[in-house]
Chain A
Amino acid sequence: MNLILVAVISLGVIGLISAVVLFVASKKFAVYEDPRIGEVAEVLPQANCGGCGYPGCSGFAEACVKTGSLEGKLCPVGGQPVMARVAAILGLESTATEPKVAVVRCNGSCEHRPHVTSYDGAHSCAIMNSTYGGETGCTFGCLGCGDCVDACQFNAIHMNPETGLPEVDENACTACGACAKACPRHIIEIRPKGKNNRRVYVSCVNKDKGAVTRKACSVGCIGCGKCVKVCPFEAITLENNLAYIDPAKCKSCRKCEQECPQGAILAINFPPRKPKTEATAETVKETASTAEA
């Protein structure tokens, strides 16, 4: 009985002394931290994806509070609603930013881009890219090992086993850019989602000459320049045998899509075209003029 009592009392005393020491230390050595950093961090999604360009969510919160401005800062995961809450906490104005999405700029599925060799090394795009040009005749396109899928924290990108290409789930994608960084061939681009989620882009990154590209892939950009000529907004540039559509200038008129002989330009989320060609041309003109206005 006595033994138990001694143990309880001595342990209690040790506990009490430690508590006092800890209390004093926490007061004396306290580091002042702006309480708003914690508040901002709390409204962030805590995905720690690094898509904002800062090391994790707490790093982003600290940057927001310390710089005192939200210019150029965006949490791609939370998007506009989260940024509005951050702005409210800091008493700042939130700057409106365009929602973005990851776009895979390669359409060379197994059908369009036949395999000419087979790779049996470690299952990684980065390694395959450093080893050789890839299993198809195209040395620029998707390698198909899915480094982008491994990099995505939001389960927003998947390999389609039929095409052998990655597909982005627009609703889940936060445009954090992890996949674009992971892709050794720089196929994935973070582009504005566009009005009503509609966007037009060149789904190819091949810089070979037209004849070489055509031999390797039936939907590759051959650099013919027809799209450049047809674009009424000068949104398309041609460099190194490859066309690129500037999303800032593109008005989604889809003239280039129709003109492309290879079908390398894709228009996403548009309603199907009307079968009559004349009527289509007219509507295209109309949309173009309204968009311009």
Chain B
Amino acid sequence: MKTFRIGGVHPAENKLSAGKAIEVLALPKQAVFPLSQHIGAPAVAIVKKGDKVKVGTKIAEAGGFVSAPIFSSVSGTVNKVDSVIDASGYRKPAIYIDVEGDDWEETIDRSVELVKETSLTPEEIVAKIKEAGVVGMGGACFPTHVKLCPPPGCKAECVIINGVECEPYLTADHRLMLEKTEEVLVGVSLLMKAVKVSTGYIGIENNKPDAIRLMTEKAKNYPGIEIVPLKVKYPQGGEKQLIDAVIRRQVPAPPAIPINVGAVVQNVGTAYAVYEAVMKNKPLFERIVTVTGKSLKNPSNFLTRMGTPMSQLIDAAGGLPEDTGKVIGGGPMMGKALANTEVPICKGSSGVLLMNDKEAARSEAQPCIRCAKCVSACPMGLEPFLLATLSAHKEWERVEKEDIMSCIECGSCQFTCPAHRPMLDYIRLGKGTVGGIIRARNAKK
């Protein structure tokens, strides 16, 4: 069975909510929309206090090419344009909307019927995706239309869809593939049409045999789409790892991107959002969020409107357990501990994980014993122990030469380290600093 060739680890899967069907979460009393929910320039608010909005009304315009507009997920009145502490832990500008009823924009097609055919040209499809504010739903939130416009000199050869969901605990994509199979497949065909290719692969890890079976069966009706079962290994959902696993090509070090080897990678959640945007005229304002944790009474998958506070999801799943040590936005490997539970659900919120005290505790760091486990685990072929030490000593030039910018911050090194060294903490610091140095250098040129 296929998988990527370098490094990787296998954390305990803990897919507690895999068997739970998607439930529709009740509307919040107040929805909060941070203006920067994606990579790139923050969106610019186009509503003010007192404005009436409907479900699907655009409330913020894209702030540049690498940016995305934001749509209201509720109907009601704009309370204020202020700030909120988002998943980054910092106060960021945000729009507050008081919810009144559930009144949708008329342009949105709310029927559940599957629409398969479209006469739109590739350019029109990309324009619709851009206008609907679709971003990568896997967590990085890179605006989708940017990925669909290859830079000059590059040509897409295939679309690779990420149905891997390699993060432990999370099951949102798994449930989506089971319950919205045809919609996802139509979304994939649309993406293939948008980048003018005739081959598409959907990579799914073999811990989801039901999804592989169902998708393979339905994909027979969609020419060019192939389901690729993959061996379970973290971080297979990483763009570069998935390309290696599925088509055996390696993306060179940055600034090279997947399109340089002819691949366009998108998440299954994104494919579904593309289907809704293009076929149903529905902008991106709701998503599936897994709420899970070992001590949680009722781990679930919720179809959630954006802007809902995480506390409401936790309450719906049985309330915050007493032994909660950390609340993580995202999965346990790459997710982020949150400062409070009032953080709103954004475009990239794939899950809310409640870790108990025992899981959340970080062991004390011991001296490095030079076992090189981190080197074997690194999926990018780097030397994490060296990068961390050099970053700690602020050796920015050397750390750049050691290819720190190739790090995908998957955390495999730290996960595997028997001395519990906080390597990723230092590598992130180094990557951030070196990134700044490179940007400054390029700006000078």
Residues of chain A touching chain B, judged by Cβ–Cβ distance below 8 Å, are 116-117, 120-122, 124, 126-127, 130-134, 139, 208, 212
Contact = CB atoms under 8 A, between A and B. Distances in A.
Contact of B429 (A127, A133, A212): A127
A132 B90 contact: yes
B90 A121 contact: no
Contacts of A133: 85, 89-91, 339
20 contacts: A117-B339, A121-B362, A121-B425, A122-B365, A122-B425, A124-B425, A124-B429, A127-B425, A127-B426, A131-B89, A131-B425, A132-B336, A132-B337, A132-B339, A139-B85, A139-B89, A139-B90, A139-B91, A208-B91, A212-B83
Nearest to A132: B89
Contacts of A134: 89
Interface in B317-369: 336-337, 339-340, 361-362, 365
A212 B91 contact: yes
Contact of A122 (B89, B91, B422): B422
A186 to B, nearest CB: 15
Interface hub of B83, B89, B362, B365 (most chain A Cβ within 10 A): B89
B432 interface: yes
B433 to A, nearest CB: 8
Nearest to B422: A122
A122 B420 CA distance: 11
B10 interface: no
Interface in B74-111: 83, 85, 88-91
A122 B432 contact: no
Contact of B362 (A120, A127, A208, A212): A120
Interface string B414-445: 00000000100110110010000000000000
B426 A122 contact: yes
Contacts of A117: 339-340
A130 B90 contact: no
A243 B318 CA distance: 46
Interface hub of B85, B339, B428 (most chain A Cβ within 10 A): B339
Contacts of A139: 85, 89-91
Contacts of A126: 429
Contacts of B336: 131-132
A229 B344 CA distance: 40
Given A116-B339, A121-B425, A132-B89, 6 more contacts: A124-B425, A124-B429, A127-B426, A132-B336, A132-B339, A133-B89
